[in-house]
A and B are shown apart, each in its own frame.
Chain A
């Protein structure tokens, strides 16, 4: 007997022009978990990595100080860990360049049990921020908490410092059903 489909694309967005954030709304509540795959490059006046983040919500994106996260990261020479509490987003790092040379980096986020209405929501993010030979690179992972029991039906992936992701950056949301 064929198994039911359990890894299903919900929506995908490819930036046609530079944009500071991308949002997914009206996320169906019919899956168990969500996976967001991003392939992005940010803008900054010098080559570096910039702080970006994820916000979620139910009916509207929550921009309050309701997020916390713990990061484990490596910059190519040493490992580090840091925390953020009462933050306005669940942050991590993305590569930024002054001009688009074709570099794109991978960010994969797993949202667990996103549609329940009993527990605070958690998600795991794996991020790459790498720009060929430049020395300002970083790789890492974060564990994140949204202190709200509401089901997640909106997700925003943004550069909340006000700069942009380059056009051609892609964002795809998948649903995973446990049964």
Chain B
């Protein structure tokens, strides 16, 4: 009988001082024993409203591109950046949004050990019971053949607020 191969690798809970970033695999220590990676983030920034967090791999700040698709409750839109220093992670609540609201997102990274470019699929929401709240889909691409050994999440404005939680899961295909 096959067994589950969806396992928690690491989880970070931001403390009272906040965190300027959340890093998985600091120093390149994400295990290479899985096929895909999945990050689940419940996050809030210490400044701004409806902020745009971002992600980088292996400490690199080049060769990223992304396309976004979003809805605000009043309409939809699409944006992109064809050459940038990080991948947009859609949307997250900030200190200017309703108190105690945290954005939620899934970040799926298939074949993170492969020698192909790395594709990322993001689904994110920031609902705050206000006139404008976002849901976001993002397609990200890191045009780099290196295996992903570390991941850095940046809040987009200020720091990650206390009680933000990010968890990294590994998924095996066999």
Contacts and interface: CB of A to CB of B under 8 A. Distances in A.
Interface stretch (A4-12, A84-92, A145-153, A155-163): A4-12
B121 A79 contact: no
A128 B76 CA distance: 18
A50 B35 CA distance: 26
A10 B2 CA distance: 8
Tell me whether chain B's interface is mostly helix, strand or loop, or mixed.
strand
B137 A126 contact: yes
Nearest to B66: A130
Given A8-B2, A172-B173, A137 B137 contact: no
B33 to A, nearest CB: 14
A132 interface: yes
A5 B117 contact: no
Interface in B48-79: 65-71, 76-79
A129 B139 contact: yes
Interface string B115-142: 1110111010000000000000111110
B76 A72 contact: yes
Contacts of B114: 39, 104, 168
Counting contact residues on chain A (CB < 8 A from B), the size range is 35 or more
A96 to B, nearest CB: 14
A132 B123 contact: no
Contacts of A8: 2-5
Contacts of B80: 76-77, 137
Tell me whether chain A's interface is mostly helix, strand or loop, or mixed.
strand
B72 to A, nearest CB: 10
Interface residues of B, number: 43
Interface string A59-90: 00000000000001111111100000000000
Interface string A129-151: 11111110111110000000000
Contacts of A78: 77-78
A39 B115 CA distance: 13
Contacts of A6: 4
A168 B69 contact: no
Contact of B82 (A133, A140, A168): A133
A108 interface: yes
B110 A75 contact: no
A103 B117 contact: yes
A9 B173 contact: yes
Contacts of A75: 67, 78
Contacts of B120: 106, 128
Given A12-B174, A135-B82, A139-B137, 4 more contacts: A7-B4, A8-B5, A76-B80, A104-B117
23 contacts: A7-B6, A12-B35, A12-B174, A39-B119, A102-B115, A102-B116, A102-B143, A102-B145, A103-B116, A103-B117, A104-B111, A104-B117, A105-B119, A130-B66, A130-B67, A130-B119, A132-B82, A132-B141, A133-B83, A139-B69, A139-B137, A170-B110, A172-B173
